Structure 1
Amino acid sequence: MLARQRQATILDRVRTAGGVRVTELAAEFGVSDMTIRRDLDTLHDQGLLAKVHGGATATGPGSTDEPGFHAKSVRQSAEKAAIAGHAAELVRPGAAIALSAGTTTAELARRLVDVAGLTVVTNSLPVAEILHTAGRPDQTVVLTGGVRTPSDALVGPLAVEAIQSLHLDLLFLGVHGITERAGFTTPNLMEAETDRALVEAADRLVVLADHTKWGTVGISSIVGLGAADVLVSDDRLAPEARRVIDEKVGELVIVTGTGRATGQETTR
C-alpha cells in the first residue's frame, strides 16, 4: 500500500472511530511504528487529525463534542494511569463506592479488582465490564441502566432513579472539562443530570482529571469546583489552574507520571 493510500485509510478510521493507536495500525498495515508516526505527522500538519500520546484523535472539539470511549482512551494515557493509581489508594475494603463514566475511571476500575468486599455502582459500561470480567465473588457491581451515550455512559431518567435511592461512601467522577466559572462540565446534558445524582448519593466526591481538562468547557455544568472534596490531577497542570483549584476544592493532589503524589494542598 502506498503511503497516501495508507494515510487515507487511517484518516477514515479516525473519523469513524474517533481515535486510533499507533501499535494497532502498525500491526494492521504490517509496517513499523515509526512509519505510522510519520503518517500521523503528515495528517496532523494538514489539520486533519490531532496527534496524542500513542496515537491520534479526530479534530474539532466543542462544548457539545463527545468523543467515543476508544478515542478518549488514547489521550493522556500515562497521566490517567498515574491518577488512577493514586485514586485506588483511597478505596478501603468493604466500601460502597461509585465510578462515573470515563476513561480515567475505567483505569481506576482495573486497579480495584483486588480490593475485597467492594460494592461498586457505575453508569459506565466499560467499568462494569472490567469488574465483571475479573469475576471476584466478594464484589458487587451495580449497573444503573439508562440510555447509552457515545462515550459508553448510561444516562437519563432510569439511571437517575436507580441512583437516588443509594447511599455511597465515595464517588470517583470523571469530567470533560474544568473552569473556574463553569466548574466541572460535560458535553452531554443527560449525563450532567446523572452525574449530579451520583454526587448527591455520595458522602465524598473525588474528581479525577488530567491537566488537559483545565480550560475546557462542556455544554452542561455538573457541580461547582467547591463541591469536590479531593481533585487528583497530574504534574503538567498549569500553575494558574493549581491556584484556582486549590482555593476552591478541599484537597488538590498532584501525581507524577509514576503515580507518586508530589504533594497536596488542603484548603478546608
Structure 2
Amino acid sequence: MLAQQRQQAILERVRRQGAARVADLVRELGVSDMTIRRDLEVLAERGLIEKVHGGATATGKGSTEEPGFAAKSVRQQAEKEAIARCAAELVRPGSSVALSAGTTTWALARHLAEVPELTVITNCMRAADVLHRAGRPDQTVVLTGGIRTPSDALVGPVAVAAVRSLHVDILMLGVHGMHVKAGFTTPNILEAETDRELIDAAQRLVVLADHTKWATVGISTIAPLDRADMVISDPGLPEDARIALGERACDVLIADLADPAEAVAR
C-alpha cells in the first residue's frame, strides 16, 4: 500500500470512529509503529487530524461537537488518571456516590471498585460496567437508564426521573468545558439536564476536569462555576483559571502527575 493510500485509510477511520490508536493501525495496516507515526504527523500538519498521546482524534471543536467515547479516551490519559486517583481519595467506605458520564469518571470507577460498601448512582454505561465486572458483593450500582449519547451517557426523561428522588453524599462530575461566564458546560442539551438533576441530588459537588477543559464552551450550561465545592485538575491548568475558580469559593485540587496519590490544594 502506498503512503497516500495508507494515510487516506487512517483519515477515514479517524473520521468514522472519532479516534484511532497507533497500536491498532499498526496491526490493521501491517506496517511499523514508526511508519504510522509519520503518517499521523503528515495528516496533523495538513490539519486533517489532531495528534494525541498514543494515536489521533478527529478535528473540530464547535459548541455542539460531542466526541465519541473512543475519541475522548485517548486524550490526556495521564492527567485523567491522576485526577481519578485524587478523586477516589475523597470517597469514604459506606458512602453514596454519583458519577456522571465521561472518560475521567470512567477512570475513577476503576479506583472506586476498591472502596468497600459503596452505593454508586451513574448514567455512565462504561463506569457501571467497570464496577459490575469488579464483582464486589458489598457494592450497589444503579444505572439510570435513558437515551444513549455518543459519549455513552444515558440522558433524557428516563434518566432525569431515575435521579430526581435520590440523595447522595457526593457527585463526581465530568464536564466538556469550563468558562468564567458559561460555567461548566456540555455539547449535549439533554446531558446538561441530567447532570443538573445529579447536582441537585448531591450534598457535595466535585468537578473532574483536566486543563484542556478551561475556556472550552459547550452549547449548554450545566451549572455556574460557583456551584462546585471543588474542582480537581492537573498541573497544566493555567494560573488565571485557578484564580478564577478560587474567587468563586471553589477549592482547586491539583493532581500530581509524578505521584498521583498526592496533590496540592489551593
> What's the TM-score once normalised by structure 1's chain length?
0.96
Residue 238 of structure 2: aligned partner: 238
Say whether 1:179 aligns with 2:176.
Answer: no
What does 1:106-185 correspond to in 2, within 5 Å? 106-185=106-185
| 1:221 alignment partner, SS class | strand
Task: Give the alignment's Cα RMSD to 1 decimal.
Answer: 1.0
- Alignment deviations for residues 43-102 of structure 1 (CA, whole Å, 9 cap, x no partner): 001111111121111111100000100100011111001100111111111111000000
SS in 1 for 2:92: coil
Counterpart of 1:264 in structure 2 is 265
Structure 1 unpaired stretches of 5+: none
Structure 2: gaps (5+ residues): none
**Structure 2: distance between partners of 1:26 and 1:80:** 25
Distance 1:23 1:111 in 2: 26
* Alpha-carbon distance in structure 2 between the residues aligned to 1:134 and 1:7: 39
Deviations 1:194-236 (A, max 9, x none): 0000000000000000000001000000001111111000001
Query: What residue identity is the alignment partner of 1:197?
Result: E
Partner Cα separation in structure 2 for residue 119 and residue 202 of structure 1 = 13
Q: CA deviation at 1:260?
A: 4.4
Deviation at 1:30, TM superposition (A): 2.8
Aligned to 2:193: 193
Which residue does 2:86 correspond to in 1?
86
- Segments of 4+ moved more than 6 angstroms: none
Task: Indicate yes or no: 2:49 matched with 1:49.
Answer: yes
Matched, 1:9 2:9: yes
Structure 2: how far apart are the matches of 1:24 and 1:98? Answer: 33
User: Which residue is equivalent to 2:72?
Assistant: 72
> Is contact 2:86–2:263 with CA below 8 Å preserved after alignment?
no
Aligned pair count reads 265
Q: CA deviation at 1:34?
A: 1.9
Structure 1 residues 262 and 167: CA distance shift in structure 2, 3 A = closer
- Contact 2:205–2:228 (8 Å) recurs in 1: yes
Following the alignment from structure 2 to structure 1, what is the Cα–Cα distance between the partners of residues 173 and 249?
14
Distance 2:49 2:117 in 1: 44
| Contact 1:253–1:261 (CA under 8 A) maintained in structure 2 | no
